[in-house]
Amino acid sequence: MDDVVFRSPRKRGRIAVFLSGRGSNFMAIREAVERGDIDAEVGLVLSNKPDAPGLVQARAWGLETLFLDPKLFATREDYDRAVVRELEGRRVDLVCLAGYMRVLTPGLCQAYEHRIVNIHPALLPSFPGLHVQRKAIDWGVRFSGCTVHFVAAEVDMGPIILQAVVPVLQDDTEETLAARILVEEHKIYPEAVGLYFAGRLEVRGRRVFILEPGA
Ligand code: GAR
C-alpha cells in the first residue's frame, strides 16, 4: 500500500469559498456549517466576478466577501499570488471551489496542496472541462454524476474524495441532467468538507481513504 501523503486535520477550520456564478454549492456548504455538520466557519467568499449571485448572497448574509478583479493583474500568476496573500492573511484552512471558472496556477495549487477541493459535475476522470453534461449525453453514457476531489495542478484532476452516480435518461437535455446531478452535488460536497475537518481523509498515492470516526 502507498505511504500516507496527507491526513486531513481534526480541528475547527476556516473555509474560503471561491465562486463565479450562482453559488448553490456554496449555499449547501454554508447550510451544513450552520447545521453543525461541518466543523468550520466560512471565513471568506471570493469571486472573480463582481456580480456573481453567490457573492451577492454571501454579502447579504454578512459573510466576508472579496471581489478580486482579474483586470488589475498582468498575469494569472500575479492574480493567484494575490489570492494566496488573501488566504494567508485570513488563516484559511481549506478552499472550496464552487463553480469557480478560473484555472488555478501551479503556484496556488502547490501553496495550498491538499487544502483545495473542487466539485465537478461528472464522474472524473471522465469528462473533465466544460459542458460536461452535454458531453455525457452525446457520448451515450448510461450514468453520470459528480465528483469532489482534491485539486492538483492539472485541470479536474487530483485525488477523488467522494462521487455520486445518477442515471442518464433517454430524453435528458443538458439542463435536466445538470439539475439531477446538482441535487447530488449538494449532498456530497458538504459531506466531503465535513469529513475533511473531522480528520477522516487520508491520501495514499492517488487514493483517498475515509477513516472511521475517531480513528
Ligand atoms: C456546478 O454544477 C459545479 O459542479 C460546476 O459548476 C456548477 C456551479 O454551480 N463546476 C464545474 O464545472 C467545475 N469544473 P453553483 O454555482 O450553483 O454551485
Give SS3 for 195: helix
> Is residue 76 within 6 Å of ligand 1 at its C-beta?
no
Number of domains forming the structure of the chain: 1
Provide Rg for the chain, Cα atoms: 17
> Is residue 52 within 6 Å of ligand 1 at its C-beta?
no
Of ligand 1's listed atoms, the one at least distance from the Cα of 28 is: 18
Query: pLDDT per residue over 1-21, tens digit each?
Result: 889 999 999 999 999 999 999
Q: In this structure, what CATH number is given to the domain that contains residue 129?
A: 3.40.50.170
Query: pLDDT per residue over 180-191, tens digit each?
Result: 999 999 999 999
Domain range spanning residue 31?
Answer: 11-210
Query: pLDDT per residue over 103-123, tens digit each?
Result: 999 999 999 999 999 999 999
Question: With pLDDT > 70 as the criterion, what percentage of the chain qualifies?
Answer: 100
Q: Across the chain, how many H-helices and E-strands are there? A: 6, 10
> Is residue 134 within 6 Å of ligand 1 at its C-beta?
no
Structural domain includes residue 206: yes
Structural domain includes residue 3: no
